[in-house]
Structure 1
Amino acid sequence: MTTLPTGLRERKKARTRAAIREHAMRLFDEQGYAATTVDQIAEAADISPSTFFRYFPTKEDVVLADDYDPLVIEAVRAQPADLPPIEAIRSALRDVFRKVSPQEWERERARQRVYLAVPELRARAMQQYADSVDLVAGVVAERAGLPPDDFGARVLAGAVIGAALAALPDGIASMLDPMDLKRLDRALELLGDGLPLGPGRG
């Protein structure tokens, strides 16, 4: 991952989580998402099914869980206090994703290819958009010294997620390469500028 856990226990847990996901993606590719069971994934990763469920509540979560979300939120939290919210989010995204290696990008593409190909995963992901609003609203409100449910922070967070949905071909779960990051950054720049319209604005 972009940021490595520091303790031995945390590193071991991170390796186990990565192994589960790696074997799951391989099996999904070889035999299809629907035909792959949790037991098969656990066997391939050399763990018990109960261990699998300690890392991922369901098979769907192997695909839908986005390991970058907490990194982005922490990066937003670490931005200078006087930076406006949209600029803080743009800077945090750059800080996190510029460290992603080519190998990590390929693993992320594999995860997203499964997500985009399975209708039930795409349907469940709609709830994740609402969860993303909660995450962004929480950190925006925190930086401004406001309650977590502040109305203005939630509206701003909704605008950020909406900008991402509009900028990327298949929504925020389809960020497959650095070019998509540039599109997202441009969308947030437009949002921060008050969404001016006209030639050369997009």
Structure 2
Amino acid sequence: MPDQHSTLRAQRRSETQRVIQAHAVRLFTERGYDATTVNDVAEAAGVSPMTVYRHFPTKEDLVLFDQNGRLVADRILASSAEQPLVHRIGRALVDSATTLTGGGHGDGPTANERFLLARLRLMISTPALRARHLDNHYALQQAIVDALGDEATDPEAAFHAQVAASACLAAMHTALVRWAADDGRTELPDLIAKALAAAFGDPVDTVPNA
């Protein structure tokens, strides 16, 4: 059954990526980004350096790679075109943050939140990662515009979508920096919603879409 085999391969690939990235972020945090080599990461993960490069073409990708673009795009695709664009994008950002953090509201950060916090601190503190993080910002902006499909095909509509996406992402970035400074004590989806409300004046519903 080809479909089943494809699914199993995708699952194995995803698990391998998760293990490699987890070890990379741990080593970068413990030893420093510049002091840790890809060979160090490969050894810790129990794989060859070639396997690391197969999943993460550059050292920066070991920190920056995530599923946020796909999650945000999926949420926008599922949203209603009758809603204001910044609300649709904002809600997609809040929903994706809920998925990535595990949606927990316990006494402390979840395992997913601790991992995201470690990645975020590395992005903030490492010059090479800060530069590449800007590239990721533009890639996410384009993923949002692409997800709008026919709504953003003509130049004027595409420009409007790019502006809306960029403004929402700027608000989210401010929330991420605040979240890192607070050591994850505040729920990230709530912080993003608060930042979006401060930027646009209207609150974003933090209850995920069904």
Q: How many residues align?
A: 186
Letter in 1 for 2:145: A
Q: Amino acid of the residue matched to residue 47 of structure 1? A: V
Cα distance in structure 1, aligned partners of 2:176 and 2:15: 32
Q: Does the 8 A contact of 1:164 with 1:172 survive in 2?
A: no
Read off the aligned partner of 1:114 and give its amino acid letter. Answer: L
Q: Percent identity?
A: 32
**2:144 paired residue number:** 136
RMSD: 2.8
1:147 maps to what in 2? 153
Q: How far, CA to CA, are the matches of 1:15 and 1:161 in structure 2? A: 28
Q: Please list every run of 5 or more consecutive structure 2 residues that lacks an aligned counterpart in the other structure.
A: 1-5, 103-109, 203-210
- Residues 79 and 88 in structure 1, CA contact (< 8 A), matched pair in contact too: yes
CA apart distance, 1:19: 0.5
Q: Which amino acid aligns with 1:106?
A: R
Residue by residue, what CA displacement relative to the aligned partner does 1:102-143 show, whole Å, maximum 9, x if unpaired?
111111111112222212211232232222322222223x2x
In the TM superposition, what are the counterparts of 1:53-202 in structure 2 within 5 Å? 53-99=53-99, 100-101=101-102, 102-140=110-148, 142=149, 145-147=151-153, 150-165=158-173, 167-168=174-175, 170=177, 177=184, 178-193=186-201
- Cα distance change, pair 171–30 in 1 and its aligned pair in 2 (3 A): closer
Consecutive unaligned residues in structure 1, runs of 5 or more: 1-5, 195-202
Conserved in 2, the CA contact under 8 Å of 1:21 and 1:62? yes
CA distance in 1, matches of 2:132, 2:15: 27
Asked if 1 retains the 8 angstrom alpha-carbon contact of 2:141 and 2:162, the reply is yes
| Alpha-carbon shift at residue 173 of structure 1 (Å) | 8.9
> What residue identity is the alignment partner of 2:43?
E
Corresponding residue SS for 2:152? coil
Classify the secondary structure of the residue corresponding to 1:82: coil
What residue in structure 1 maps to residue 107 of structure 2? none
Give the equivalent residue in structure 2 for 1:200.
none
2:15 maps to what in 1?
15
Aligned equivalents of 2:119 and 2:73: distance in 1?
21
Deviations 1:33-88 (A, max 9, x none): 11111111112212221211121111111111232221122112112343322222
Residues 172 and 192, structure 2, Cα contact 8 Å, conserved in 1? yes
Q: 1:81 to 1:161 in 2, by over 3 A?
A: same
- Cα separation, partners in 2 of 1:172 and 1:86, compared to 1, 3 Å: farther
Superposed CA offset, 1:16-44 (max 9, x none) = 00010111122213322111111111122
8 Å Cα contact 1:112-1:174 kept in structure 2: no
Change (3 A) 1:16 1:28: same
TM-score normalized with structure 2 length? 0.75
| TM-score, normalised with respect to structure 1 | 0.77
